[in-house]
Structure 1
Amino acid sequence: MKRWSRRLSLGVLLLAVLVLLFFLPWWELVFSGPDWPGPVVVAGTVVFAVGLVAFPVSMFFGHGPRGSDLAARIGDSTLGVIWVLFAWTVLGELLRLVLAVSGVADPVRSRIVALVVAGLALVLVVWGCTEAMRLPRIKRVEVTVPRLGRGLDGVRVVVLTDTHLGPINRAKWSAKVAAAAGGLGADVLIHAGDVADGPVARRREQAAPLGTVEASLAKVYVTGNHEYFGDAQSWLEHMAELGWEPLHNRHLVLRRGGDELVLAGVDDATAAASKTAGHGANLAQALAGTNPDSPVLLVAHQPKQVAQAVAAGVDLQISGHTHGGQIWPFHYLVKIDQPSVRGLSRHGDRTQLYTSRGTGFWGPPLRIFAPSEITVLTLRSAASA
């Protein structure tokens, strides 16, 4: 009974959010103040009504059991457009206030607001789509790891994460990403999870270029939360076939110049709840048998896994998951769930966390004020700082 009650409450909440997302832009841009001619109101109402019905249907068939890529593309694109419209409709109220104070009366005031919001939304959607589909920028960051030995000073860690190969076939994009990453002279190459949305059989072509990238010391992969929407074990095995060492609650010891670095990885924070046999984040297992005096580089998909990293004395954690918010101002919601949205941050006395904005995108093919990245982290010892 409690389970059904929770499901009903969740369903009501989702319905309320869905209606609000479509209702507010329709009310402000089409129906209320602008006093558009009748045909404009009818046409606008039809567009929003069709979107309101088509969105949940396409999301169900696109991301539900059937997994139709066409339906997913429609649903994801609708989500992106309506989110942008909703956010800028809310911000449009500031313009409405300014116009009201300036003495501009309705319907002129509301028409100006509606046209400005619609125009901005159009520009942002076109620009956001271009940003999502482009080759990610290379972001270079130097990180001082005090316990790192001189022999490992200058180790170059190249990070890919959240590639989300999915309903839009991005095999060519994937090849460009692999070529770009391969040209960065990686000592350590990391994929920090959410490699794809969908089973290996459907994403094999898009994932294939990942097998062409090399690193001098290690090339490792951990699962993200999206792997647990399907068959995470199959992705672990496939990434291993592509030459990526799965850090499935385990570690490697990297040695250079007489010094060593522990490179550990754990499953995503959602792994245990997924009930996937043999999966569940276990940092103690990942670090079992390591030298306590050696610095530890941990790969964990979600930034919030840093709490366990701090307790274990990890020196640096590398994560993704947040996409930097992906579509402004969604990062404010991400901050509620995660301790970091992007960039380098410190947690506790020893632990640093680098959160990548991600290499690809999930869902809406948009990135607005949250550019994608391929990250190059150069590790420095305290002696060289």
Structure 2
Amino acid sequence: MTDRQTQHPEQSASAGRSARPRTRRVVVSTVVFVVCIVLFALPAWTVVFAGSQWPPAVRVVGTVVAFVAFVALPAAMYLGHRPGPEGAAKDAWARVGDVLLGLVWIAFVWSALSLLLRLGLWFAGVDDPVRSRIVSVATAVVVVVLALWGHYEAMRTPRVRHTSVRVDRLGARFDGLRVVLVTDTHFGPLDRTRWSHRLADAVNALEPDVLAHVGDIADGSVVRRRHQAAPLGSMLASAARVYVTGNHEYFGEAQEWLDHMESIGWNSLHNRHVVLHRGDDALIIAGVDDATAKGSGAPGHGADLGRALAGTDPSIPVLLLAHQPKQIGDAVRAGVDLQVSGHTHGGQIWPFSALVRLDQPVVHGLSRHGGRTQLYTSRGSGFWGPPFRVFAPSEISVLTLVAG
């Protein structure tokens, strides 16, 4: 009888469990490899080859650049974003990987769109190599211009976006209440301390009544990102400063960020609420954990709107902070008047907004859901990963509530 035939069921189950992670790693590695090939091959073909008949030296240099970037991207992303101890070296790798990821995405998108130019030139009777050289140069110029402009947009002080929101149940004494949203700051490997100070100055100039940070403060621990996040403590509001967690807090530091925000004077709405009063009128401001909180394994975390609204008067209007727009379903069922969210970044680098729309009901702006509930989705004040924003500008959102 063979060893395989005498193997105990417990041993078989253990072997099966150990094989599954290996299979997942192989599948993930294969997918990453194929995606990288596609992302780099199309721009290289468009700019360097594709009938342009550039001199051999140009083709060699272009091939070498594409190959080095192809190898460097997954390596830098892994070294910069892998689980493990934080540090300057890890941040340096993350910066390299993030920049390469943004550049290759822009190059891929506009290389694909260049096929339209190639087709137009073909209809116009322009032959190769002139046709392909025109497409090559035009694509390269567009990619460089969009990368430079996109980086400027990512690093600039966010634009202020004003929106009036009529809330039918809002009391007259709260008419004109100014709610300022700051979200998705994503303090991370690229040190944006100066940007953070400019953000705080811009927020304070708006003189908010309520200031809300709707999650994704940072990518990293409080210890590592404390300096960049420090200006949050200088942001002022006359009535309340409130904060909820985003999905990135649940990569490991959610409770630490909740505690940190409390320590610098913010109200961390960890499935709870506060009530504002003006005379006989009241407004409930509630907050829930991010939609990913329960699955993160963080003890005591998980979006719970029932708990957040426990003990409240159902006749009082509710302003809800929830990081992801898709949490709107719970808000509608609870009769929330206005939910404010972030998470989408407006797509950050066009046309990623189309992919975001597959996961979220709204990409940005004000929308109505059900008979009572409205949702405002901010494009976010910062950026994640690639330091670029292309056709998706950052914002500081100012919502002026109008009483019904």
Q: TM-score, normalised by structure 1?
A: 0.97
- Give me the CA root mean square deviation: 1.2
Question: Could you tell me whether the CA contact under 8 Å between 1:342 and 1:354 is conserved in 2?
Answer: yes
Matches within 5 A, 1:219-368: 219-368=241-390
Question: Structure 1 runs of 4+ off > 3 angstroms?
Answer: 1-11
Q: Percent identity?
A: 59
Aligned residue number for residue 41 of structure 1:
59
Matches of 1:256 and 1:59, distance apart in 2: 51
Matches within 5 A, 1:146-165: 146-165=168-187
**One-letter code of the match for 2:230?**
A
Question: Could you tell me whether the CA contact under 8 Å between 1:152 and 1:257 is conserved in 2?
Answer: no
Larger mean Cα displacement after TM superposition, 228-237 or 10-19 = 10-19
Aligned residue number for residue 162 of structure 2:
140
Question: Could you tell me whether the CA contact under 8 Å between 1:150 and 1:257 is conserved in 2?
Answer: no
Report the Cα offset of residue 11 of structure 1.
3.3
2:100 is the alignment partner of 1:78: yes
Larger mean Cα displacement after TM superposition, 29-38 or 236-245 = 29-38
Matches of 2:330 and 2:23, distance apart in 1: 33
Matches of 1:4 and 1:249, distance apart in 2: 38
Structure number with bigger Rg: 2
SS at match of 1:272: helix
SS at match of 1:273: helix
2:152 is the alignment partner of 1:127: no
Aligned residue number for residue 9 of structure 1:
27
Report the Cα offset of residue 172 of structure 1.
1.0
Report the Cα offset of residue 18 of structure 1.
1.7
Pairing partner for 1:369 from 391, 394, 398: 391
Report the Cα offset of residue 106 of structure 1.
1.3
Structure 2 unaligned spans of 5+: 1-15
Matches within 5 A, 1:173-252: 173-252=195-274
Matches of 1:330 and 1:236, distance apart in 2: 30
Pairing partner for 1:18 from 36, 47, 71: 36
Structure 1 unaligned spans of 5+: none
Aligned residue number for residue 32 of structure 1:
50
Deviation string, structure 1 residues 53-97 (Cα, Å, up to 9, x no partner): 111111111111244111111000001110000000000000000
SS at match of 1:297: strand
**One-letter code of the match for 1:215?**
A
Report the Cα offset of residue 8 of structure 1.
3.6
Matches of 1:346 and 1:3, distance apart in 2: 43
Matches of 2:235 and 2:187, distance apart in 1: 17
Report the Cα offset of residue 6 of structure 1.
4.5
Cα distance change on mapping 1:198 and 1:27 into 2, 3 Å: same
Q: TM-score, normalised by structure 2?
A: 0.92
Question: Could you tell me whether the CA contact under 8 Å between 1:302 and 1:320 is conserved in 2?
Answer: yes
